[in-house]
Amino acid sequence: MKDESRLTAFVEQCLADGVSLLAIYGPGCEELEEKIGWLVVEDGSTPGRFLCTTSHPEESFDDVLNMAQNWEFERADPVREVWL
């Protein structure tokens, strides 16, 4: 992602909205997952900041979407696709 401020704002919105999972797919997904992890953790002084992330560089989009739908089905939360 070229604009880091947009990524920071996105992560903060996910935390505010109570998002439970970010399943990241495609080229560079592992690096993006790591960046998001650091944004969530910050300096470690806020223990309530938590967001599960996964990266899927070798899986099909359908497999990742299926995994996310099953994750959210257990929580009765909707799944939303976000493209960065």
**Quick one: how far is CA 41 from the chain centroid?**
13
Residue 29 has pLDDT above 90, yes or no: yes
pLDDT digits (tens, 9 = 90+) for 72-83: 666 667 788 787
**What is the domain extent for residue 14?**
4-75
Q: Decide if 48 is inside a domain.
A: yes
Is residue 40, in this structure, part of any structural domain at all? yes
pLDDT digits (tens, 9 = 90+) for 16-27: 988 889 999 999
Instruction: Report yes or no on 58 lying in a domain.
Output: yes
Which residues are CB-contacts of 61 (< 8 A; sequence separation ≥ 6)? 25
pLDDT, tens digit, for every residue of 33-58?
A: 999 999 999 878 888 889 899 999 99
Stated pTM of the model: 0.82
Q: Is residue 82 part of a domain?
A: no
